[in-house]
Amino acid sequence: MTVGLIAGALTSMAAVPQLLRTLRTRHVRDISVWQPLLLFAGVFLWIVYGFLIDDVPLILANLIPLVCNGWLAVLKFRYRCNDEMPADRATA
């Protein structure tokens, strides 16, 4: 049970550092838009499934990745032209 909770917490929070990095650097060249789009669609359906089977933890656990991945997909489009500038923020 504890293992499952830790696993859920880790996979739920995984997109947060990527979102923070993207908001900070405003560079998205190396990010595939399909990862946030697929995760957004996937966790959206997990939330739908959570409602269907009345599972509140499943719904709550997927809200954070829903927001993060939706936001990342938007940023991928918004910042797509930023890499025509010199790669001045190319810190690893």
Residues interacting with a copy of itself, by CB under 8 A?
Answer: 3-4, 6-11, 13-15, 17-18, 20-22, 25, 27-32, 34-35, 38-39, 41-46, 48-49, 52-53, 80-81, 83-84, 87, 90-92
Number of residues written out for the chain: 92
State how far the Cα of 78 lies from the Cα of 23, in Å rounded to an integer: 11
Q: What angle do CA 44, 57, 43 make, to 5 degrees?
A: 15
- Min dist CB 87 to a copy of itself, Å, is 5
- Min dist CB 22 to a copy of itself, Å, is 7
15 or 70: CB nearest a copy of itself: 15
Rg (CA), the chain: 15
